[in-house]
């Protein structure tokens, strides 16, 4: 009903907006540049920030720029699963029937990465929920990929507590593998006004609320 009242064509702040309809500011541009570097030359990426600052929008923009020939993406948000369950989920999303045993699961994922047409990118959203054992699995996957040679890259996306977790002594080897890290900060007052105006304009309204 309020759409008609304000003469909007669509929801101005929908979580399901197309990548082309997403607000892009200097934070997003810098984040995209770093993630593109990860895909070109990096191994492991780390994106952190408070809830609601635009981490999902950043990932959506990145994925909209990729073609299947460039990159095969596995997106995993069920990061609360136990370590073995997470590896099985990855194998399943890659179209494989998960094998028994962690060693065989590692091999299965790496072999599947070798068969990928382009780079295989594993994205773990809500990565601050990953268990310590799962973070060790991430390190082992990256380390094994470097030895075997498949183009496998991993991106961890989560809240700010994730940065503290990977800095713990037990994850020193994982931290050493991080080639790209980016902390997405909240919008400034000026950026917030621009964002609201942009979203309302995209929905068909008068995008000059703060003008």
Instruction: Specify if 95 maps to a domain.
Output: yes
* Structure token pair of residue 22: 């997403």
Q: Residue 115's domain is classified under what CATH number?
A: 3.40.50.300
State the burial class of residue 1 (Cβ atoms within 10 Å of its Cβ: 0-12, 13-18, 19+).
exposed
Instruction: Specify if 7 maps to a domain.
Output: no
Tell me the backbone φ, ψ of residue 184, rounded to 5 degrees: -85, 115
Instruction: Specify if 211 maps to a domain.
Output: no
Instruction: Specify if 1 maps to a domain.
Output: no
pLDDT digits (tens, 9 = 90+) for 46-80: 999 999 888 988 998 899 888 888 899 999 988 88
User: Which pLDDT band, with edges at 50, 70 and 90, does 131 fall under?
Assistant: very high
pLDDT digits (tens, 9 = 90+) for 66-120: 888 889 999 998 888 888 889 999 999 999 999 998 889 999 999 999 888 888 9
Instruction: Specify if 18 maps to a domain.
Output: no
CB 170: neighbour CB atoms within 10 A?
11
The pLDDT of residue 4: 62
Instruction: Specify if 154 maps to a domain.
Output: yes
Per the listing, tokens 């973070």 go with 135
User: Which pLDDT band, with edges at 50, 70 and 90, does 157 fall under?
Assistant: very high
How many domains does the chain fold into?
1
Instruction: Specify if 102 maps to a domain.
Output: yes
Instruction: Specify if 11 maps to a domain.
Output: no
pTM of the model: 0.84
More confident residue, 24 or 175: 175
Return the closest-CA partner of residue 145 out of 114, 167, 166, 124: 114
* Structure token pair of residue 164: 């503290």
Range(s) of the domain holding residue 128: 23-202
**122 DSSP β-pair partners:** 74, 154
């Amino acid at each position: 009903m309020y759409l008609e009242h304000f003469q909007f064509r669509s929801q101005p702040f929908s979580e399901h907006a197309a990548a082309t309809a997403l607000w892009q500011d200097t934070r997003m541009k810098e984040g995209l540049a770093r993630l593109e570097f990860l895909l070109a030359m990096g191994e492991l990426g780390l994106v952190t920030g408070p809830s609601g600052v635009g981490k999902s929008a950043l990932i959506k923009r990145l994925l909209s720029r990729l073609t299947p020939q460039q990159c095969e993406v596995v997106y995993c948000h069920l990061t609360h699963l136990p370590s073995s369950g997470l590896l099985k989920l990855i194998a399943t999303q890659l179209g494989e029937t998960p094998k028994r045993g962690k060693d065989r699961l590692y091999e299965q994922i790496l072999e599947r990465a070798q068969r990928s047409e382009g780079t295989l990118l594993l994205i773990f959203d809500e990565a601050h929920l990953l268990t310590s054992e799962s973070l060790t699995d991430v390190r082992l996957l990256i380390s094994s990929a470097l030895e075997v040679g498949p183009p496998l890259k991993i991106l961890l996306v989560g809240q700010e507590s994730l940065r503290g977790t990977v800095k713990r002594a037990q994850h020193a080897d994982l931290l050493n593998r991080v080639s790209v890290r980016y902390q997405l900060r909240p919008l400034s007052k000026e950026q917030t006004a621009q964002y609201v105006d942009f979203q309302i304009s995209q929905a068909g309204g008068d995008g000059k609320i703060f003008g």
